[in-house]
Amino acid sequence: MLRRGPQEISRGVFLVAGGGLTDPADCLCYLVAAGDRSVLIDTGAGDSIGRIVKNVQAAGVAPSSVTHIVLTHGHADHVGGATEARDKLAAQLVAHAGDARAIETGDPRRTGAAWYGMSLPALTLDVTVEGEAYDLPLSEAGDEILRLIHTPGHTPGSMCAVLDRDGRRVLFGQDIHGPFSADFDSDVAAWAQSMARLLELEADVLAEGHFGVFEGADQVAAFINQHLRAQGFAGR
């Protein structure tokens, strides 16, 4: 039985799915609460949207304030709930161009849906991010942003998100650990470059997609370096 409510991992940042909160097939999904423009990061595999919306409410956030849903990459455990989440939250779906076609066609190979024995419906993204970075304003005035950065490797269109709040930098790094597969069009060399860029951010908190939340810049760097070494790179 799932009993725990959303967990606040940094001020206004909540774990709302995965991690025992919702269906075991779900990745960890996070809510960045910000007054009138909140953002949901990933949607899980698809069976948990009702509970995710309840967790958003339990976090004290009006579902109507969620303006964007960031799909960090095209894998089924992250995007399976995208259509229902968009409908329930009346929010815009955002993903990187590198994974857009896989997501929009529900490609069973590139989304990993075949791995999970799932089939994904076709959908149309509302915002397709091109290039290296994209800033989502978290307020009308734009004084706080959620920066999306392109971190190809696990998939061609993988993105991370960065929030600077209260002097703390939170890095949302879904599946920065991998895995890597020709089925996903993974590129380990590109991934190593992406990880080097993430290390330069010196984030204070890492909110990962399956391994949980890492607190402290040294712990964040250790997690990334551990995976770099596991892939035969020197780390930093």
d(CA 158, CA 155): 5
Write out the two tokens for 42. 């990933």
Q: Which residues inside 46-85 make contact with Zn ion, applying CB under 5 A? A: 75, 77
Which residues, including other chains, have CB under 8 Å from residue 231's CB and lie 6 or more apart? 178, 180, 188, 191, 192
Residue span binding Zn ion (CB under 5 A) among the ranges 63-71, 89-97, 186-194, 201-209: 201-209
Q: How many residues bind Zn ion (CB under 5 A)?
A: 5
Looking at the Cβ atoms of 116 and 233, the one nearer to Zn ion is: 116
Residue 61 C-beta: closest distance to Zn ion, Å: 24
- The answer to the question of residue 227 lying near Zn ion (CB under 5 A) is no
Ramachandran bin of 216, using left for φ above 0, alpha for ψ from -120 to 50, beta for the remaining angles: left
Binding pattern to Zn ion, positions 5-44, x when CB under 5 A? ----------------------x-----------------
Helix H or strand E segment including 230: helix 217-230
Spell out a b/e string for 49-78, using b for 16 or more CB atoms within 10 Å of the CB, else e.
bebbbbbbeebebebebbbbbbbbbbbbbb
Residue 76 C-beta: closest distance to Zn ion, Å: 9
Looking at the Cβ atoms of 34 and 76, the one nearer to Zn ion is: 76
Q: Which residues inside 146-185 make contact with Zn ion, applying CB under 5 A? A: 175
**β-strand pairing of 168-173 with 159-165:** antiparallel
Looking at the Cβ atoms of 14 and 191, the one nearer to Zn ion is: 191
Residues within the interface to Zn ion (CB under 5 A): 27, 75, 77, 175, 209
